[in-house]
Amino acid sequence: MSSVIACRAKRALALAVAVPLLSACGGAFGAMKGGADLLNSQVPVPGSSGSPNGNIGLGIGPSKIKHIIFLIQENRSFDYIFGNVDNNGNPFPGADTVSNPLPGEPTPHNHLGQPVTMTTGLLEECYVPAHSSPNAVTDIAKGKMNGFDKESVQKLACAPAGKVPADYAYRYAEYSEVQPYWQIGEQYAISDRMFEASTSASFAAHLYYVAGQSSRAIDNPSNSPWGCDAPAGTEEPTYNEKTGGEAGRVFPCFEMPTLADEMDLRQVSWRYYGMSIADFGYNWIAYDAIRQIRFGADWSTNVVNPSSQILTDIQNGSLASMTWVTPSLANSDHPLSASNLGPSWIASVVNAVGQSQFWNDTAIFVVWDDWGGWYDHAPPGKFGPVGYGIRLPFIAVSPYVRNGYVSHVVHSPGSMLRFAEEILNLPSLGEIDAKSDDLADLFNFTQTPTPFTPFALNRSPADVVRGATDPRPLPKGATPDD
């Protein structure tokens, strides 16, 4: 019996006899934990007493939310998406941004302490700032947030001739390009304290959204595709929890419990939408790195491609209780994409849900996997390879979200998992979810459900669907571990 199957049996027994779930899956998994100590007492944990009792919203939430969607975009910091000003010269209302920082927080400086002027940039620029774990530690600079100028910037083949612009990482997006994100956030809610679970690049970061840990994986594998489909000889770095240094390298295919395993045990429906292996976005399907999912029945039934299929499924009245959506390269916001389709892609999915039968009982969370090397001014409460990474954009959409609300509560990907566990009455994974809050401050389940009004796209629907359907491989000038 594999360790995962044995663990499933232990968890099922624990549920039946009310054994504490955190001890129901020790042994093999106990040796694989990679992130249970990511959070410490500095992190406020407001509201509910946690899963699996469904306590969010004092028990009201689980009776009103039946569907949860994680929309996971790529490689942008909070200040990159929300740090500019709108067409009237105003920063995002109520948010702690680089244009309107909280008192005492760092403003843009380089590692020499010299002030840096932020520059407006475009999502489709053909440069990729370095963004591995050592880069995050350098960027954070023990809370000074002034190491971004020390990092290298990779030029893609589509970049213009000449040198990389000076202080390139100190950029925020042109407002017109990210206007859909602003409009969705202004109507519903954002958090200006959503931090990456660890100082990591995309591969490990995505694992936290399904497992609450990364089995100590950090950064990206050495070859593409990543995960269990990686070529023989592919190596994934792991970290030492005590020192933060590299502990060795492993093949990027893991056995560890995930939210999908818990849902399978309780017959809760789930789907994971991603791209085919022909698109670089295939790398972001976290379940490809989970052995029991990749080589089990779930892979052919619950992992769906292309990403645009979610639009069809919603229209056809088919939406799982729990849904993850990872984008195509073109729709991802990733600097590798050389594309600005991402905001319209997200608005398209939000519109599809809002105009469907599912609106009144759905919660949508839009989040980015990692900071991508871009400047952010807000220091994590705890940082390092086994602590928080750099701040991420985060948007919550639901008829029960507090309208126009900006959360200043510290959140993490574990908060999203904990919300799902409580709403769907699932046991805790016992990882970062167990030490995170449950996003309760973002919701008011006693309010009259907010009617939905569609959001304008800044690209055509045909462009968005084409971007989510037509595969795009690794672009010229990039490396597999970007």
* Region for 57 from its dihedrals, namely left if φ exceeds 0, alpha if ψ lies in -120 to 50, beta otherwise: left
The residue count for the chain:
482
d(CA 436, CA 354): 28
What residues in the chain have per-residue pLDDT under 70?
A: 1-55, 383-386, 477, 480-482
Half-sphere exposure of 391 (CA within 13 A, CB side): 28
d(CA 68, CA 347): 16
Confidence at residue 478, expressed as pLDDT on a 0 to 100 scale: 77
d(CA 189, CA 230): 38
DSSP secondary structure code for residue 462 in this structure: H
Chain CA centroid to CA 104, Å: 28
Global model pTM greater than 0.85: yes
Q: Look up the CATH superfamily of 39-78+174-469.
A: Alkaline Phosphatase, subunit A (3.40.720.10)
DSSP secondary structure code for residue 26 in this structure: -
* DSSP β-ladder status, 246-250 and 236-239: antiparallel
The position carrying tokens 């009237």 is 88
Q: Please write the tens of the pLDDT for every residue from 70-120.
A: 999 999 999 999 999 999 999 999 999 999 999 988 899 999 999 999 999
Please name the residues in contact with 18: beta carbons below 8 A apart, sequence gap of 6 or more: none
Joined tokens for residue 425: 């009455």
Beta bridge partners of 171: 119
Q: Answer whether 146's CB lies under 8 Å from 154's CB.
A: no
d(CA 377, CA 394): 16
- Structural Rg of the chain based on CA atoms: 21
Confidence at residue 350, expressed as pLDDT on a 0 to 100 scale: 98
DSSP secondary structure code for residue 45 in this structure: -
Give the domain ranges of the chain. 1-31, 39-78+174-469
Joined tokens for residue 134: 């050592």
The position carrying tokens 């709108």 is 86
d(CA 142, CA 18): 43
